[in-house]
Amino acid sequence: MLGDDRKPRIFPPEKRMGYFYEGLTTILQDDKTGFIDKTGAVVIPREFYGASDFSCGLARVTLSHDDYRNDRYCCINRKGEILAKNH
């Protein structure tokens, strides 16, 4: 991934990520997911067991392995605040 200065950005190995959506991407470590910004700063700590990408300011997350297996999820905002649950 290239930074704003067009030089490659190197993130520590524990910060596995996908693509950036709305300036954030997921990180996964020790079976928990959180979000980082393009500087590599943790914006939302790793406290979820699954997470979608952000879209329209919201992301879908699961709070436990059981929730993940049973497709129960919550919607969070870019601050990590839970706004809605489907269970």
Residue range 15-74, pLDDT digits in tens: 556 788 999 989 888 888 999 888 888 899 999 998 999 999 999 999 987 887 788 889
- At residue 24, the pLDDT reads 92
> Burial of 12 by CB count in 10 Å (0-12 exposed, 13-18 middle, 19+ buried)?
exposed
26 vs 13, more confident: 26
Is the dihedral angle over the CA atoms 21, 23, 29, 33 positive or is it negative? Answer: negative
Tokens of 34: 């959180």
pTM over 0.85: no
